[in-house]
Copies of this chain bind each other. A is one copy, B any other.
Amino acid sequence: MQGDALYPPFLKHSWISRIEGDVLYVTDRRKLPSVHEEVICRNAEEAASAIKAMVTQGGGPLEVALNAMLLASRKGEDLEKAVLVLSSSRPTNTTMKRTLAAIMERYRAGEEMEELIHSAFNYYDELYDAVSDIGASLIEDGDGIITRCFPEHTFLLSVRKAVLSGKAVHVYVPETRPYLQGARLTEPSLRAMGISCSLITDAMNAHFMAEGRIAKVMTASDLALSDRTVVNKVGTLSDAVAARYYGIPYYAFSLSIDKGRTRKDIVMEERSGEEVKSIGGSMIAEKETDALYPAFDIIPPELVSGIITKDGVI
């Protein structure tokens, strides 16, 4: 795979997943940065299980699914079945689902799976590049930016390009419970790229806005609709509401607008409250404790200043 020279370590293709022989290795993001461990997937079903179990998340499932299809094809597995099980592993992530559907359509029309997957990787590398050019152009010298969760290639490359062009930027990174993607992935990635950043807890958003330290809220999106509705990690709505109160713009990055859907069609993934009751394997609540984990927020169009896509800001 080409095009990942600018990427921080955790986003390099081989750090997300890699095929070796007849096995797909998926980096266990739940254990980064302290341990680099890979989960072994022998087929699409095992890859789907890994995605479901949050071994990889954010933009990870897309790359893992592509590699899982490639492996299934090399091993002569039933590709129709493979695409079905992979597509349903994270119901809110429709980019993966639509990408796989498009690949299968061309595959059924006679194209080679090997070539289709290779093109898909290249397509996304070019897309990350194009979207982050636009993201970087929106960032101004001196900006303090709050993000949320692990905002992947689009945001991270935007900030990197802004800094490389001489702009001073400071990123405030909420730790993002329960899985701490902010603390474990985003902050180390920014630091690895030499970008000034501070780790904060999840509800400090309004605090730093009130102090005048924040110029923008910028996050990835798990799903974006053409009416400017955004679906992203729970907490993003809190950021967007606070941004509105303090007159700060909120931008979401999108790899592809889901044009066929309306808000009513969004399938919101329900995750178990049990995931909130532990941190890194240690219990922080009691067995009897009831906990809730709505994994995603829906941010309505009126709170979204713009969606950053390869074609510009919507």
Contact = CB atoms under 8 A, between A and B. Distances in A.
A277 B2 CA distance: 35
Interface in A164-203: 172, 174-175, 177-178, 180, 183-184, 187-188, 191, 197-203
A314 interface: no
Interface in A196-220: 197-207, 210
Contacts of A202: 177, 201-203, 235
A177 B235 CA distance: 14
Interface in A224-270: 234-235, 237-242, 244-245
A204 B203 CA distance: 9
Interface in A283-303: 284-286, 288-294, 297-298
Given A206-B297, A280-B284, A297-B206, A198 B238 contact: no
A239 B245 CA distance: 12
A210 B187 contact: no
Contact of A241 (B177, B245, B292): B245
A204 B148 CA distance: 13
Contacts of A285: 183, 187, 199
A203 B180 contact: no
A33 interface: yes
Nearest to A184: B284
Given A183-B285, A199-B273, A294 B177 contact: no
B289 A284 contact: no
A102 B242 CA distance: 40
A40 to B, nearest CB: 27
A33 B283 CA distance: 11
B234 A207 contact: yes
Nearest to A203: B235
Contacts of A245: 241, 244-245
Contacts of A203: 148, 174, 202-203, 205, 234-235, 238-239
Interface of A: 33, 148, 172, 174-175, 177-178, 180, 183-184, 187-188, 191, 197-207, 210, 234-235, 237-242, 244-245, 273, 276-277, 279-280, 282, 284-286, 288-294, 297-298
7 contacts: A172-B292, A198-B290, A199-B290, A203-B235, A203-B239, A204-B294, A206-B238
Given A199-B289, A204-B235, 6 more contacts: A178-B201, A191-B286, A198-B290, A202-B203, A207-B237, A238-B242
